Amino acid sequence: MPEGIAEVNNINIWWEDFGNPSNPSVLLIMGANANCMQWPPEFIDPLVHAGFHVVRFDNRDVGKSTWFGKESFSAKLVRLFLPKFLLRFFLKKAFDSVIDENGYMQEFDIKDPDYTLDDMAKDAVCLMDHLNIDKAHIIGASMGGMITQLLALDYPDRTLTITPIMSSPGIGDPDLSNMTPALINGLQESAFMDAKGNHADSVTRIYRELTGSRFPFNEEKFRQKLKPIMAHGHNPNCKHGDAAGASPSRKHRLNQISKPTLVIHGTEDAILGLDHGMALYENIPNAKKLIMEGVGHEIPEELADEITSTILDHLNDSRSIA
């Protein structure tokens, strides 16, 4: 497939496209700490076969795009020399300092992030300029769904429709659910694995916790699929979390979104509970929804046909806008 590096917005963005560029374009934006290889063929192919031009790209700080987060000298010393029992002790102390008595992550301010979601939304628009795409249907997963909202709000002339999947109007909203205690425990274990350089184990541990009960986690299958994703470029020091955490909630602006919107969310999402998706659905005018029972923070391949057919109905209903 055609691919390349776009020198845009003062950074490099790696991209790949599928289908005829003269067809209406669909821009896929992946979530935090994940490169674009996590958009699988079973998601992309039906869109291409239906007559759409599909573009996936690595957000800044992951994959083959420009990285900002780097391993610090002190972190390298910890990885190489600190005994495991001391590392576990200090990680537990760090997590305990930001977790309340109910096991939920407390709010904290992120000072001077290297970039925000606004910068990442501009990356997407600049990539569209580079590829001569005037307008696109925007589909985003998790943090990518947050960026879709910004595109609809701040670049409405470049946006045809938006589809936020397992996303939220903002991190840290006290009216919305926090991460589950089980996920926080998984994140702590994952941090230990990352600190020791076991990054594939770290990712696997997190996704085990993010998987809902409907399609139980299959570690062997997951690890096989993870290999090409990790090979494409995994940044364990990615700062996407800071970007999302430092960006203000969009909840009060959602009623300004005029683009056709489809909200997709699972009922067992451990990081962004169903109420996050419902906040989007209830506050974006005329939004539609697809609620997936028993699904976590994931896009299960078992539901690929249902998800893509619903998305295609959404895009085709709006095709006259193109």
- Model confidence at 321: pLDDT above 50: no
CA distance 315 to 262: 9
Beta strands across the sheet bearing 288-292: 3-8, 11-18, 53-57, 25-29, 136-141, 159-165, 262-266, 288-292
Cβ atoms within 10 Å of 59's Cβ, excluding its own: 28
Q: Nearest-CA neighbor of 29 among 65, 4, 58?
A: 58
pLDDT digits (tens, 9 = 90+) for 130-186: 999 999 999 999 999 999 999 999 999 999 999 999 999 998 788 899 899 899 889
- Model confidence at 73: pLDDT above 70: no
- Model confidence at 320: pLDDT above 60: no
| Cβ proximity of 46 and 308 under 8 Å | yes
Residue keyed to tokens 């576990």: 88
Mean per-residue pLDDT, 210-239: 97
| Cβ proximity of 123 and 253 under 8 Å | no
Q: How far is CA 36 from CA 96, 234, 291, in A?
A: 33, 11, 24
Predicted local distance difference test score (pLDDT) of residue 70: 87
Q: Nearest-CA neighbor of 52 among 284, 295, 316, 269?
A: 316
In this structure, the strands spanning 11-18 and 3-8 are antiparallel
- Give percent of the chain above pLDDT 90: 78
Quote the strand ranges of 231-311, DSSP E. Answer: 262-266, 288-292
The mean predicted confidence, pLDDT, of the chain is 92
Predicted local distance difference test score (pLDDT) of residue 322: 45
Predicted local distance difference test score (pLDDT) of residue 298: 98
Domains in the chain (CATH in brackets) are 1-322 (3.40.50.1820)
Mean per-residue pLDDT, 278-295: 98
